[in-house]
Structure 1
Amino acid sequence: MNSSSVTLLASGNSLGAYIPAMHLNTYLQDRGVRTDVYVLENLYHEEIRCKINSTKKAFHADFSVALMGHKMAKPVDSSLNEAEVQLLLDAWIRDGVSHFAVFTGFWLPVLERYKAIAPSSLDFQLIRLDVCDTPSFKVHRSLYPDYDNVWLYEPSRLYPNYYIASNEKEVLPYAQRDGRILIHGGGWGIGTYASTIAELRQCGYLLDVIVYDPSEVEEDDGSTRYFGTEASWNPWSRDAQGRHSFPPMNQYVREDGILRAIPLRDYSAYTSLMRNCTAIISKPGGATLNDSLSYGIPFVMLEPFGHHELQNSNYWESCGFGIRFAEWKALDYSEQHLEEIYRRLLEQRSKINHLGRKTHAAENSSYV
């Protein structure tokens, strides 16, 4: 890609298509690259955007509802506000925007329109965070073959191609970690993650639980910590400087029935939690696969959300980077097995490059 600027196209519908974009945004900016981040939901009709949170709550409350919604995915064209789309296309033409990193297939109809009117050559990279098509790409199978599809994971090769993080910091040695296990349900807090908490607590594990809603925080037991995204934040909002940002994170503590929210310093404080944990327990979403590889974290995988996550799970297990929760339980929650997974992750991580080196071929040859 040309080193002038990169436009990152994300979605707030899933943090799995938002957080990796923000990591890449941070990485590129730290190397002097001009970037812009656009979130698809800002092009939606207001009434459609307002329904997203209620849908998220329904999916969080009932995993079967989430699975059904996943199967009914369709193009978002009817949700788009034509006036907002036209303003965006006009701005791209005016600014000569030509280099894109795209994190969800739902942007493709907008990009098709831009291709038809842009006067210069265009460089699109579709960043594929899963082993196979997610719903956003599946519904646009007729369009995406004409683009540069950049796959982080290819099923035909049992080793990943890239990872995405805010920096290229080395993986923390396993012996130096604090022995805690991170549990979450992805950006929508869905899946079977909540049922593992009491089970692991009884085994004596120290847990860091990412809650979807602060009401899930239990009385402080001295060993389980709770964290979550600030409830007032959403991915399509901008900060005081007009920029998209990482979600503000809180630590939650409930003592004598009283809940306190303690803001984390910034999102890097949360990534420090990940770097320090001995395992992640979650559904096998693409962004969590990336966390596992980026920070060298063994992945204990729960029930997948849809076909693409099933394939993610199969792939990660085949690579030796993760284990299904039921199998880990059958091994009596073996810590030795987790450490063996860590060593395989560390070996692979040392062999591959940050995606930012491909997305932006920097003038400094050390980043090419």
Structure 2
Amino acid sequence: MNSSKVALLASGNSLGAYIPAMHLHMYLQVRGIQTDVHVLENLYHEEVRSKIRSTKKAFHADFSVARMGHKLAKPIDNSLNEEAVLKLLDVWKKAEVTSFALFTGFWLPILERYKTAIGRAVDIRLIRLDAWDTPSFKVHKHLYPNYENVWLYDPSELLPSSYIASNETEPLPYEQRSGRLMIHGGGWGIGTYAGTISELRQLGYCLDVIVYDPTEVEEDDGVTRYFGTMASWDPWSQNAQGHHTFPPMARYVREGGSLQEYPLRDYAVFTDLIRNCAAIISKPGGATLNDSLSYGIPFVMLEPFGDHELHNSTYWEARGLGIRFSEWKGRNFSVHLLEEICRRLLEQRSKINHFGRNTYAAENSSYV
């Protein structure tokens, strides 16, 4: 694979299909490998794209609504703006792009068209960040056997195969970490995460809570910290140079009922928060599995969203890399247990390489 450029095909519909793509983009760029990140929603009709925010709010407000929406996933053909699709295909063809990494299966019909149009071999890898089929791949099940499926957490294998991060910085030793717990509900802020906050605060834990909306921020208690993505940003937006970026993050502090917003310098500051925490508490999404492995963070898993997250939870727990919240609670919220999980994560992390090194940097060895 010595293509001049690798196209990373992401989606803004789920940060789980966006953040890993951005991590890989950063990793490869540093190594001199040209990449472009493309976000599927930029090919949508404007009226379809404008409805995404309202859908997110509905899913955030009611987990049962989110689960129902998950079951109703279908191909996105009617959402696509044909003019935008043709323009992108033409850009790829003129640049002779032949290397692609998909982070969501909804791109597959577009790539089928590109394969026909270009008339030459194309290297397309489906990056599977879950231990089971996700809705975006499942709806195109008849297509993906024709591609190289890269399972980071192959359910038939005993251990994960690789991880994706912006760099290869080693995880912090557990004893050097802040001891704080990070709690979030994924990119859409869904699941049962909010119900754990008061329980853990009463137990005296120091928490970093990632809120979906600043209205969730409670009065400052001097211990609990709140962070979130700045409301002005959408994953399909681009900066002044026409590039996609990591979400701009901010810390929120409410004092005397007044909410203050303090933007973080860059996304690396937020990544450092993850690297320093004692555990992540969230639903078992694939991108959070990747965070857990990349940074050696014990994963305390809440109620799953869909069959793929149920399989994620089973996979992670069976390999000793995480624990269900109910089980951790039944073990009296044992810190020693988290330390043991961290030890296994660090051991596994030491045996594997970054996906970008395994795949792209290794095959473009002049860049390494």
Kindly report which structure 2 residues correspond to 1:38-77, keeping only aligned pairs within 5 A, or say none: 38-77=38-77
> What is the match of residue 297 of structure 2?
297
Unaligned runs of 5+ in 2: none
Letter in 1 for 2:273: L
Secondary structure (helix, strand or coil) at the match of 1:250 reads strand
- The runs of at least 4 consecutive aligned structure 1 residues that moved more than 6 Å come to none
* In 2, Cα distance between equivalents of 1:6 and 1:203: 48
Provide Cα deviations, 1:71-120, integer angstroms capped at 9, x if missing partner: 00000011000010011111111111110011000000000000111132
* In 1, Cα distance between equivalents of 2:84 and 2:367: 40
Provide Cα deviations, 1:49-68, integer angstroms capped at 9, x if missing partner: 00000000000000000000
> Residue 36 in 1 paired to residue 25 in 2?
no
> What is the match of residue 149 of structure 1?
149
* In 2, Cα distance between equivalents of 1:294 and 1:162: 9
Aligned length: 367
Provide Cα deviations, 1:114-146, integer angstroms capped at 9, x if missing partner: 011113211001100000110000000000000
* In 2, Cα distance between equivalents of 1:317 and 1:3: 39
Q: CA deviation at 1:158?
A: 1.9
Does the 8 A contact of 2:2 with 2:364 survive in 1?
Answer: no
> What is the match of residue 249 of structure 1?
249
Letter in 1 for 2:57: K
* In 2, Cα distance between equivalents of 1:233 and 1:172: 30
How well do the aligned residues superpose, as a CA RMSD in angstroms? 1.0
Letter in 1 for 2:259: L
* In 1, Cα distance between equivalents of 2:367 and 2:118: 32
> What is the match of residue 258 of structure 2?
258
Does the 8 A contact of 2:3 with 2:98 survive in 1?
Answer: no
Does the 8 A contact of 1:158 with 1:315 survive in 2?
Answer: no
Does the 8 A contact of 1:192 with 1:303 survive in 2?
Answer: yes
* In 1, Cα distance between equivalents of 2:364 and 2:250: 38
Structure 1 residues 347 and 124, CA gap change in structure 2 (3 angstroms) = same
> What is the match of residue 365 of structure 2?
364
* In 2, Cα distance between equivalents of 1:154 and 1:246: 27
Secondary structure (helix, strand or coil) at the match of 2:269 reads helix
> What is the match of residue 201 of structure 2?
201
Secondary structure (helix, strand or coil) at the match of 1:101 reads strand
Kindly report which structure 2 residues correspond to 1:1-368, keeping only aligned pairs within 5 A, or say none: 1-2=1-2, 4-360=4-360, 361-364=362-365, 367=368
Q: CA deviation at 1:365?
A: 6.6
Does the 8 A contact of 1:158 with 1:318 survive in 2?
Answer: no
Q: CA deviation at 1:156?
A: 1.5
Q: CA deviation at 1:340?
A: 0.2
Does the 8 A contact of 1:3 with 1:362 survive in 2?
Answer: no
Q: CA deviation at 1:3?
A: 5.3
Structure 1 residues 187 and 344, CA gap change in structure 2 (3 angstroms) = same
* In 2, Cα distance between equivalents of 1:32 and 1:362: 13
Unaligned runs of 5+ in 1: none
Letter in 1 for 2:320: G
Q: CA deviation at 1:294?
A: 0.2
Q: CA deviation at 1:2?
A: 1.7
Q: CA deviation at 1:358?
A: 3.0
Does the 8 A contact of 1:24 with 1:165 survive in 2?
Answer: yes
* In 2, Cα distance between equivalents of 1:194 and 1:224: 13
Secondary structure (helix, strand or coil) at the match of 2:64 reads helix
* In 2, Cα distance between equivalents of 1:295 and 1:89: 36
Does the 8 A contact of 1:217 with 1:252 survive in 2?
Answer: yes
Provide Cα deviations, 1:275-306, integer angstroms capped at 9, x if missing partner: 00000000000000000000000000000000
Provide Cα deviations, 1:224-256, integer angstroms capped at 9, x if missing partner: 000000001000000011100000000000001
Structure 1 residues 347 and 87, CA gap change in structure 2 (3 angstroms) = same
Provide Cα deviations, 1:2-25, integer angstroms capped at 9, x if missing partner: 252211000000000000000000
* In 2, Cα distance between equivalents of 1:260 and 1:365: 48
Q: CA deviation at 1:359?
A: 3.2
